[in-house]
């Protein structure tokens, strides 16, 4: 199977532990990927594809997924809203909470999915991770064996998506309200 990723946008957030467990549970990786190396540098998580094809040079940078790691306080119940009524609460009770590290795959193709060798198989890994996420969206336009495919996953659920060709409003012909800089008599 051959494929390419043309467009990708991700706002996925999921607990870092869920990402680690996904890879510890020996997931079904695409046949082109033998394994995924997981590296953490400060607040950045890098998931790098290890090629199954040994003819691929060890110096060829393979596709990698990049996520920022953030800490978020997660409450067992909703915290009280500021400015709400205070009657009935004689003393402030602390709501049980914990700090949870989240992997945030946010951005466009070049930000989230880097390098071209094994890019499409690594996109398939990201798609599987997106199905685990309870927060965020993954949208993409890919090509598989000559056919365009649209992908849309919202909060872990596959949603209908289609590829649609529309006119780009930034490429309108000049002659409207804009200034035609090429034929401007005030500029010599």
**Phi and psi at residue 27, to the nearest 5°:** -70, 160
The packing angle between helices 119-130 and 16-24, to 10°, is 120
Range of the domain at 65: 12-77+97-136
- 63 domain-assigned: yes
158-184 tens-digit pLDDT: 999 988 888 776 655 544 556 666 666
Total domains present in the chain: 1
Specify the pTM.
Answer: 0.78
47-71 tens-digit pLDDT: 999 999 888 887 889 999 999 999 9
179-188 tens-digit pLDDT: 666 666 666 5
- 154 domain-assigned: no
- 7 domain-assigned: no
- 145 domain-assigned: no
- 158 domain-assigned: no
Report d(CA 65, CA 17) in Å as an integer.
Answer: 16
Report d(CA 162, CA 118) in Å as an integer.
Answer: 24
- 149 domain-assigned: no
- 147 domain-assigned: no
């Amino acid at each position: 199977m051959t494929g390419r990723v043309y467009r990708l946008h991700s706002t996925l957030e999921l607990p870092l532990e869920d990402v680690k467990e996904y890879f510890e549970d020996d997931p079904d990786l695409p046949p082109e990927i033998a394994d995924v190396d997981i590296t953490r540098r400060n607040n950045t998580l890098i998931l790098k594809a290890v090629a199954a094809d040994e003819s691929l040079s060890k110096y060829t940078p393979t596709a990698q997924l990049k996520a920022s790691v953030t800490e978020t306080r997660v409450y067992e119940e909703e915290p009280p809203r500021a400015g709400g009524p205070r009657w009935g609460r004689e003393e402030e009770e602390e709501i049980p909470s914990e700090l949870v590290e989240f992997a945030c795959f946010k951005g466009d193709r070049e930000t989230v999915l880097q390098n071209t060798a094994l890019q499409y198989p690594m996109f398939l890994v990201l798609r599987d991770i997106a199905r685990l996420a309870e927060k965020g969206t993954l949208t993409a336009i890919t090509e598989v064996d000559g056919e365009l495919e649209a992908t849309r996953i919202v909060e872990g659920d596959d949603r209908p998506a289609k590829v649609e060709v529309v006119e780009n409003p930034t490429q309108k012909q000049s002659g409207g309200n804009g200034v035609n800089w090429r034929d401007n008599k005030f500029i010599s």
